[in-house]
Chain A
């Protein structure tokens, strides 16, 4: 099976309408807005994607691009009104295995959460409860969804700890989170999220807090577990190296919207959005000869309260004036197909982008 045909299956064009989708996970026009004193923060502003079982989608973007908000939105963790009295305003559709989550009964979603879909958080020290042992926390996660005795649940927890590579799991199960090192905590959290065999696993920056040698261990583990359990995985990260290792498809977010998505190979080798070029140029790379200079993206990410009109990237885009009539500053570009299963939102014509990529950007990378 070639790379392309494998990854192509996981991603399709955005569809509208409310018919139940055929994909395992489908997000349609998701919007998550937060009312604040300063104005409406549009963290996610119209995001659509599909994901099949057994595939990995990598969501990449800078801080504040809406990656984590998207994942919390899918998990249904925004509706609880945790922002004081104000609730997040969520619209769109999230279909998980034939069920629409946003309009579903919260009790039903609670049953799915942890069982059908689980999450690995960035910082295991704050995601694990310091007062309970690792074992108690895993057992609780298991017994909420399975009617089994404590003993059976504990046996299962030991199995899971063993599976994620914690030495002496029958002893370590009684340890508290502070007795574990960072890498072990992350392993314990992975064990907890996988204890119910979820079909969708969302990993939000799972390795950002870890050292590189530990990161390698964890990435390896996530990859192996995915093959073993056949779950769909969404991996959220700012590290292009990590997505390249794991993802079949990549979705690049900027200012709350998807600006490019497609099979990993396409996004790395034929990117069709200037922001993706910027990300690739900003990154020093170990696998290449030493670059003279990095090519940063100028400026800083936009405020989500005042997203620039037109293309959100236009104030930082070196090619903002290539399309005519100032269109980049007035009209918001929609995602258009630029190759098979490859989409980008840019006003420049295909030919212009191809020319700029091959002549100006690619040789400098």
Chain B
């Protein structure tokens, strides 16, 4: 189908500008505190609850207007559940979701309806997310009908405009989903999400079902739409290279928790959480010249533990090569170690150790370390030492300055305290 051409966005016709609601860029659009979702496991005749899957277990983050937050993690880490919680397709067990300052945590179906205009979702599988018995005209116009909105120029004209926005032929209004390829179906899903001019679009694995060449088309389309329409995205994906390409900030999840949340550059240049580091080193690099340089890859032992009974303390301690006693007993808080980089770890990479008094490795850590090349360990020890020295120097200077000014604690002391809580 030749109409599926390179991505260009036709100028929005004057009359067609529906409901423009611009939040100033940089303002907090979505705020999540202590978000939890536990799915009960029921057994027996009386369906007594015998346990719970801790799918999402305490998330705190913000999404600013106009930015893209990428969420990565392995399957089962709770990233999709998180997406469904912030779009309120699921009701949180605990915690709070605020959208534009309004608490939407426990709104009912009716209460959410006006908000559905502002928060939209793009689903992973373009085959199961489109009703096969509806034409794409019906599918894309459904949001208007449900919300009782009549765009200027009529629904049909608006749907056709949306089709051309996403790079499809407007004349295909009356076709059925099966007549389209995977990439085109994903565009239909995007057109539907954009119909009501939302502020926040949550995309759950928007490109993972597509072929590489089509993936790039859709990634570019999302990019263009963001610039054109000032959208805010939360993009959930498992592919680290795609996430790096699209995101401004990235949250790395492991077993229902955010272990690191940082802006793109810092995260990819100097990941602090050992899990982030392992995750990034595992991505196969499309460069045959590096084929035999196996050394910088960190292989993790075994599988992700069950979210039914997650490990105590730091959830990564069962597979981490740096784990010590404190990791087993105390859960590290997600704190900002560097500007723009929040990490939940007692022994971060590329930064000074948060629990230097605890040096004895757990036995599991010793086993895990066998899979990590010596150079990587040496290098990480070096950088940590260097950063620690730097920080100590700064702290010393600060103390000198403070003594002169009779001021309060050093920044090092502060961060130390918050970890020990």
Q: Do A and B bind each other?
A: yes
* Chain A residues in the interface with B (C-beta under 8 A): 3, 62-63, 167, 181-184, 211-217, 219-220, 238-247, 264-265, 268, 278-287, 290-291, 293-301, 315
**Contact residue among A211, A242, A264, A285 (Cβ-Cβ distance under 8 Å from B74):** A211
Which residue on A lies nearest to B275, using beta carbons? Answer: A213
From B268, B286, B289, give the contact of A241 (CB < 8 A): B286
B387, CB-defined interface residue at 8 Å: no
Cα A299 to Cα B239 in complex, Å, equals 23
CA distance A39 to B402 in the complex (A): 83
A-B contacts, 9 listed (Cβ < 8 Å): A220-B297, A220-B299, A240-B286, A283-B216, A285-B241, A287-B290, A296-B220, A299-B2, A300-B181
Contact of A212 with B299 at beta-carbon distance under 8 Å, contacts A244-B285, A287-B285, A294-B245 already known: no
In the assembled complex, the Cα of A297 lies from the Cα of B5 at a distance in Å of 9
Asked if B106 is an interface residue, CB under 8 A from chain A, the answer is: no
* Closest Cβ–Cβ distance, residue B76 to chain A (whole Å): 9
* Selected contact of B284 from candidates A182, A214, A245, CB within 8 Å: A245
CB-nearest residue of chain B to A184? B303
A181 to B74, CA, bound (A): 13
> A279 contacts B285, CB within 8 Å?
no
Identify the closest chain A residue to B280 (Cβ).
Answer: A286
A238 and B212 within 8 A (CB): yes
By Cβ-Cβ distance, the 7 closest A-B pairs, closest first, are: A241-B284, A296-B216, A282-B216, A297-B213, A284-B245, A264-B288, A216-B282
Given A296-B216, A299-B4, A241 and B238 touching (CB < 8 A)? no
Query: How many residues on chain B are close to A (CB under 8 Å)?
Result: 51
Please measure, in the bound complex, the distance between the C-alpha atom of A198 and the C-alpha atom of B223, giving whole angstroms: 47
B residues in contact with A181, CB < 8 Å: 303-304
When the two chains form their complex, are residues B212 and A283 in contact, meaning their CB atoms are under 8 A apart?
yes
How far is B287's CA from A241's CA once the two chains are assembled, in angstroms? Answer: 7
Q: How far is the CA of A294 from the CA of B278 in the complex (A)?
A: 26
Q: How many pairs, one residue from A and one from B, have CB atoms within 8 Å of each other in the complex?
A: 150
- Collect the chain A residues with CB atoms within 8 Å of residue B287's CB: 244, 268, 287
Contact A244 B283 (CB under 8 A): no
Query: For A284, what are the chain B residues with a Cβ–Cβ distance below 8 Å?
Result: 216, 219, 241-242, 244-245
Name the residue on A nearest B292 (C-beta): A3
Chain B residue nearest to A65 in the complex (CB): B211
**Most A CB atoms within 10 A — which of B181, B264, B294?**
B181
How many Å from the CB of B305 to the closest CB on chain A? 10
Residues of A within 8 A of B124 (CB): none
Report the nearest B residue to A242, measured CB to CB. B284
Which residue in chain B gives the minimum CB-CB distance to A265? B288
B5 close to A298 (CB less than 8 A):
yes
A286-B283 contact in complex given A268-B288, A299-B4, C-beta closer than 8 Å: yes
Asked if B333 is at the interface of the complex by the 8 Å CB criterion, the answer is no
Which of B245, B264, B283 is within 8 Å of A212, CB to CB? B283
Add 7 more A-B contacts to A283-B212, A284-B216, A297-B217 (CB < 8 A).
A3-B289, A63-B211, A264-B288, A283-B216, A284-B244, A294-B216, A299-B2
Residues facing A in B301-336 (CB within 8 A) are: 302-304
The interface residues of chain B lying within 8 Å CB-to-CB of A238 are 211-212
Whether A282 touches B215, Cβ cut-off 8 Å, given contacts A213-B74, A296-B220, is: yes
Which residues in B have some Cβ–Cβ distance to A below 8 Å?
1-2, 4-6, 74-75, 181-184, 211-217, 219-220, 223, 238-242, 244-245, 264, 268, 278-291, 294, 297, 299-300, 302-304
Partner of B212, one of A213, A240, A290: A240
Cβ contact within 8 Å between A215 and B282: yes
Contact present for A211 and B240 (CB under 8 Å): no
Interface residue from B74, B217, B285 paired with A296 (Cβ < 8 Å)? B217
- B268: nearest residue on chain A (CB-CB)? A286
B285 adjacent to A241 (CB under 8 Å) = yes
Contacts of B297 in A (CB 8 A): 216, 220
Complex Cα distance, B287 from A245, in Å, reads 8
Closest residue of chain B to A207 (Cβ to Cβ) is: B284
Residues of A within 8 A of B279 (CB): 212-213
- In the complex, the chain B residue whose C-beta lies closest to that of A210 is B75
Q: How far is the CA of A297 from the CA of B338 in the complex (A)?
A: 40
List residues of chain A with CB within 8 A of the CB of B1: 299-300
Residues of chain A within 8 A of B213, CB atoms compared:
62, 278-279, 282, 296-297, 301
Separation in Å of the B117 CB from the closest CB of chain A? Answer: 30
Contact of B291 among A211, A244, A291 (CB under 8 A): A244
How far apart sit A286 and B264, CA to CA, in the bound complex (Å)? 12
Chain A residues near B286 (CB, 8 Å)?
Answer: 240-241, 243-244, 268, 280, 283, 285, 287
Q: What residues on A are CB-neighbors of B2 within 8 Å?
A: 299, 315
CB distance from A275 to the nearest CB of B (A): 8
A278, closest chain B residue (CB)? B213
Instruction: Give the complex CA separation of A182 and B76 in angstroms.
Output: 11
Enumerate chain B residues within 8 angstroms of A63, measured Cβ to Cβ: 182, 211
Please indicate the chain A residues that have their CB under 8 angstroms from the CB of B300 in the complex: 213, 217
Please give, as numbers and ranges, the residues of chain A lying within 8 Å of B75 by CB-CB distance. 182, 211
Contacts of B285 in A (CB 8 A): 241, 244-245, 285-287
Q: Which of B211, B244, B288 contacts A286 (CB 8 A)?
A: B244
Closest Cβ–Cβ distance, residue B269 to chain A (whole Å): 11
Report chain A residues within 8 Å CB of B214. 62, 296, 300
CB-based contact B216/A286 at 8 Å: no
- Verify A219–B284 contact, CB threshold 8 A: yes
In the complex, the answer to whether A290 meets B4 with C-beta atoms within 8 Å is no
Q: What's the Cα separation between A283 and B211 when bound, in Å? A: 10
Known contacts A184-B303, A213-B300, A315-B2: A286-B240 contact under CB 8 Å:
yes
Supposing A63-B211, A213-B279 touch, asked if A286 and B241 sit within 8 A by C-beta, the answer is: yes
> A219 — which chain B residues lie within 8 A by C-beta?
284
Tell me whether A212 and B288 are in contact in the complex, defined as CB-CB below 8 angstroms, given that A181-B303, A279-B213, A286-B244 are known contacts: no
CA distance A132 to B239 in the complex (A): 34
Q: Tell me if A212 and B241 are in contact (CB < 8 A).
A: no
Chain B residue at smallest Cβ distance from A279: B212
Expressed in whole angstroms, the minimum distance between the Cβ of A268 and any Cβ of chain B is: 5
